[in-house]
Structures are given as C-alpha cells and as structure tokens.
Amino acid sequence: MKKYELKLDRRDFLKKSSMLGVSTIAPGVFFQELAHGRALDEPASSKIRWGMLINTNQCTDECDACVTACNEEHGIEDFGRPTTDTQWIRKMTLTDELSKKSISVPMMCQHCENPPCVDVCPTGASFIRDDGIVLVNKHTCIGCRYCMMSCPYKARSFVHENLENQLPHAPRGKGCVESCNLCVHKIDNGENNTACAEACQKDGHQAILFGDLNDEESDISKQLKKYATKEVRSDLGLNTAVRYRGI
C-alpha cells in the first residue's frame, strides 16, 4: 500500500490557507459591495433612496414595453374589464393645450417622500421603506381604498377579481390595494433594476433610468444634476422619487 507523504511546512500551510480564505471570501464581499445588495435579514437602509428618471424625449407613443414587462413581472392579468383591471404602470399621452405637441410618459407610483397614501391609511398597511419605496403590506390592508382616494397620481389599483397562479415573488390578493413597488423583490435580490427600466433599455429607448438618488456617483444622480427635470404635482410638496425630463 502506497503511503502519501504530506510535504507541507508551516510557512506553506499558512500561505496556502490564507490564499484559500481570501479567494473564498473576497468575491462575496466585493460583489456584494458592487451590487449594493444586502442580506435578507438586514433592514433596508435610509442611506439609499431608490428612484427613477424618465426621459420623455426617448419615450415613444407606440411602445408599451414597460407596461408589458411590469404585467409579466408581477403576474398582472387582464380580465377584459378595463375599468376594474389592475394597472401598476400606464402610458399617458399628453398634448400641449397651446402647441398641440404630443408626448408619451409612463406613469406609476411616484414613491413620494411624504406619501398621502401612507398618511391616510387607517391600519398603517401603506408604508414607506427606509430606502424610499412606498409599499402596501398585504397582511394588514383592509381594502378601504382611502389611499386610492388620496393618491394625486391615481397610481393605485384595487384587486376586484379572484386571482390564480400568482407568482411567489409577487403575492397579490383580492380585496387589497396595490401599486408599483419598484420591483422590490429585484432590489432585495441585488439586481437593482426594475422590469420596466430593463424592458425600456432592451427596446433601445433608454427612457427609464433606475438608481440610487442618494449616491452622487450613480447615473441617475449625475443626470439629475445635468438636466432640467420635473416632479409631477410639485405644488403638493411630496418630493417624489420619480422625476421626468422633457416636460
């Protein structure tokens, strides 16, 4: 029987084991940092404020890739009843009253810093996360629709129908109110992009830019500094996280 001899002195052992250690831990540390990700048990941080910049110059009337992507991502079905069907994101056509010039804009929850929906919700089901995302707690929403009454952007929908085959990452339920959640599941996975922004980029329009408003080095912060942008209904003082360019 052949005997194996371990030719490893103390110096070699320390050197090799430390290399192994570094090569195991480093990617995790490095990529996590790169991805702004965080562990699932770690709470969202107020150091980050997620937001969007929508460049209406790049958005075209005939394209609804963002809407389709959102519906697919969250399993939003069309029941053929347009007045009650859910819409998290919609395309609005705006025509200038004077010049008659038309522009197309995606409209969704604006993720206000001071959201009226959170103020009026009797049970606190409507809430704002530390990273600025406005969400509905599906366990405590009683379906009173007061948030829908109060939203200045008509961004919320009430689930009027029985739902089947829901997606595990996007739980929804009849009788609750819901709205754009900035693809919170993707953020929590470290993907840090939304389905609508991805679809828009894929279609080559680049009209939707998602990012951290608090990070001065992020693309969105740089563009916000460079171009004139607008907050919808800025007169209400809600400080929205979704801004528009070209309006």
Partner 1 sequence: MRDKTEYMVVEFSRAILLYGIVALSLIGLGMFSFITLEHEGHWLTGMNNQVVWGLPHVFAIFLIIAASGILNIASISSVFNIKIYKPLGRLSALLAICLLTGGLMVLVLDLGRPDRLVVAMTTFNFKSIFAWNIFLYSGFMAVIAIYLWMMFEARYNKFVGKVGAFAFAWRITLTTGTGSIFAFLVAKEAYGALSAPLFIALSLLMGTAIFYKILFWMDRGLGVTLGSEIISRFRKLLIYFIFTVFYITVLAHLTSLYVTKNHDFEFFLLFSENIYTFLFWVGQIGFGTILPLVILYNKKLSKSALGILLASILVILGGFIMLYIIIISGQAYPLDLFPGYNESSTFYDGVISAYTPSIYEVMLGLGGVGISAAIYIFAIMVLDFTPTNLDDKHILEQNQKVTP
Q: ∠ at Cα 51 (50, 54), nearest 5°?
A: 160
Contact call for residue 146 and partner 1 (CB under 8 A): yes
Contact call for residue 166 and partner 1 (CB under 8 A): no
Q: Which residues, including other chains, have CB under 8 Å from residue 91's CB and lie 6 or more apart?
A: 61, 64, 66, 67, 104, 105, 106, 107
The DSSP secondary-structure symbol of 88 reads: S
Exactly one of 134, 184, 224, 232 binds partner 1 (CB under 8 A); which one? 232
Contact between 128 and 134 under an 8 Å Cβ cutoff? The reply is yes
**Radius of gyration of the CA atoms of the chain, in A:** 23
C-alpha distances (whole Å) from 246 to each of 34, 53, 230, 238 are 31, 11, 8, 20
Contact between 117 and 153 under an 8 Å Cβ cutoff? The reply is no
Residue 43 vs 122, nearer CB to partner 1: 122
Contact call for residue 175 and partner 1 (CB under 8 A): yes
Count of residues touching partner 1 (by CB under 8 A): 55
Contact call for residue 158 and partner 1 (CB under 8 A): yes
Residue 175 vs 204, nearer CB to partner 1: 175
Q: Which residues, including other chains, have CB under 8 Å from residue 224's CB and lie 6 or more apart?
A: 53, 213, 243
Exactly one of 97, 164, 216, 217 binds partner 1 (CB under 8 A); which one? 97
Contact call for residue 165 and partner 1 (CB under 8 A): no
Q: Which of 37, 57, 74 is nearest to 196 (CA)?
A: 74
Exactly one of 133, 135, 136, 159 binds partner 1 (CB under 8 A); which one? 159
Contact between 64 and 79 under an 8 Å Cβ cutoff? The reply is no
Q: Which stretch binds partner 1 (CB under 8 A): 6-14, 33-41, 47-55, 120-128?
A: 120-128
Could you give the string, one character per residue 49-88, with x where binding to partner 1 holds by CB under 8 A and - elsewhere?
------------------------------x-xxxxxxx-
Q: Which stretch binds partner 1 (CB under 8 A): 14-22, 23-31, 91-99, 210-218?
A: 91-99
The continuous run of DSSP H or E covering 69 comes out as helix 65-74
Q: Which stretch binds partner 1 (CB under 8 A): 10-18, 31-39, 150-158, 195-203?
A: 150-158
Contact between 191 and 155 under an 8 Å Cβ cutoff? The reply is no
CB of 185 to partner 1, least distance (A): 23
Residue 95, both tokens = 């025509």
CB of 202 to partner 1, least distance (A): 22
CB of 90 to partner 1, least distance (A): 4
Contact call for residue 115 and partner 1 (CB under 8 A): no
Interface residues with partner 1 (CB under 8 A) are: 79, 81-87, 90-98, 107, 116, 118-124, 140-146, 148-154, 156-162, 174-177, 232-233, 236, 247
